[in-house]
Amino acid sequence: MARPVVGIIGNMNMLNDNYAVHAVGTMTSFAVAEVAGCLPLLIPSDPRLVTVDELLETCDGFLLTGGRPNVHPEEYGEAPTEAHGVFDRCRDAVTLPLVRACVERGQPFFGICRGFQEVNVALGGTLYPEIRDLPGRMNHRMPPEGSIEEKFALRHMVSFSQDGPFRELLGSAEVMTNTLHGQGIKTTGKDVVIDGWAPDETAEALYVKGAPGFTLSVQWHPEYNAANDPVSRPLFTAFGAAVKAWANRPRIVECLKSA
């Protein structure tokens, strides 16, 4: 039996500084294939190449990855500054309407890091350009030096609300996570519920209230060591189950009748 398809939304990148590519981290593809149990399909995030309608019909669910480019602040009514970093307007043009369509249809998605922020912006929320510049906030950015293991090491606790879906899914009020982001949620979008917080009150986990499908999204990077990490594995397993349920949903077939 064919595996359900997860469209992985990646980023524009430059190979050897002179060859444009659409890039997705291999750890993300392995997490989708080996833990979620789905077929990973890399999406070229450019509206000149794909449409939202095509993606909705081709894929059963979507994983919104992290990435160096940030959501352009014009998407939430603010002017760009140096603190906002670099952008990928092509990805913005694909992912923001895709999130809104998935929420409406009940089609599952899982947002990670930038993807977490995209969900909030798509539904009308705003972002801080640089979390570490805010009073009382810690530096959530990826360490500039070190091995992959050191960059993705567990660095802070995330606390969940009493009756929210993350505590129920993970079976714990608190978990340890990595942290590799500069921006963060400022105001929440329509029906966006923050369900997890770092010790400095930075939003770390969310879901969309009333949405008929899987909308859990996190600010950290659960794709790292997803098969073995006790926090990452249930997230990807639950996402995979939601994608399979969507793929196997009852279809209404309209039969043409002769006049």
- Which residue among 118, 130, 204, 223 is the active-site one? 223
Answer yes or no: 223 catalytic.
yes
Question: Distance of CA 164 to CAs 125, 197, 216, 222, 229, Å?
Answer: 20, 12, 11, 19, 21
- Which residue among 38, 59, 90, 113 is the active-site one? 113
Beta-strand ranges (E) seen in the chain are 5-9, 11-15, 19-23, 39-43, 61-64, 109-112, 126-128, 156-160, 174-177, 184-187, 192-197, 203-208, 217-218
Q: What is the 3-state composition of the chain as percent helix, strand, coil, each rounded to the nearest 5? A: 30, 25, 45
Number of other CB atoms surrounding residue 80 within 10 Å: 13
Question: Distance of CA 28 to CAs 10, 14, 89, 122, 210, Å?
Answer: 10, 19, 22, 22, 28
Answer yes or no: 74 catalytic.
no
Q: 3 CB contacts (<8 Å, ≥6 apart)?
A: 37, 38, 39
According to DSSP, the residues that pair with 6 across neighbouring strands are: 40, 61
Kindly state the tokens that stand for 116. 């977490």
φ/ψ region of 160 (left if φ > 0, alpha if ψ in -120 to 50, else beta) reads beta
Question: Could you list the active site residues?
Answer: 113, 221, 223
